[in-house]
Amino acid sequence: MMIIGVIGTGESHPVTDRVAEEVGREIGRLPGAVLVNGGLGGVMEASARGAKRAGGITVGILPGYRPEDANPYIDIPLPTGMGEMRNFLIVRASQVLIAVGGGFGTLSEIAIALKMGKKVIGIDTWKVSDEIDTARDGKEAVEKAVRYIERKGF
């Protein structure tokens, strides 16, 4: 099983949403793969939509207490009541993370991931470390994620 986290802005933007949906679609095509994200809007909703349309499984780790707050493409909503602290759980649950765009919440997830030694692949996101791998598009990002997971033997 592959568990790939997708992080990025909670605000909807046409270009970012298109890229995030492509990332989700590529993850959804992988047999046995699970997409994990924050379960709300923007990149989270677009990536989950892509995964669901491709037949994939989605998990949303929500900041609040209500599972019904998850976007409609989340199969398994996990309410935490932890607010932004749930970012730690998203990173911890993921074998590798793909960052698409993003604001300060995404920056915090990237920092947590790097501190934990997790692989981060970025598409037009924060470039705060040479440890962040970059990708041109969703297909390349997911291919890199799969190669990393296979190399690590998760």
Residue 137 CA to residue 104 CA, distance in Å, equals 22
**pLDDT tens digits along 31-53:** 999 999 999 999 999 999 999 99
Write 129-135 long-range contacts (CB < 8 A, 24+): 132/99, 135/98
CATH classification of 2-152, choosing from 3.40.50.720, 3.10.180.10, 3.40.50.450, 3.10.450.50?
Answer: 3.40.50.450
**Domain ranges, ordered by start, for the chain:** 2-152
pTM: 0.97
The radius of gyration of the chain from alpha carbons, rounded to an integer in Å, stands at 13
Instruction: List, in order, residues 6 or more apart from 40 with CB less than 8 Å away.
Output: 10, 60, 62, 63, 69, 70, 71
**pLDDT tens digits along 80-137:** 999 999 999 999 999 999 999 999 999 999 999 999 999 999 999 999 999 999 999 9
Task: Grade residue 74 by pLDDT with cuts at 50, 70 and 90.
Answer: very high
Cβ-contact 11, 64 below 8 angstroms: no
The whole-number average pLDDT for the span 133-144 is 98
Can you give the pLDDT at residue 154?
A: 79
Can you give the pLDDT at residue 85?
A: 96
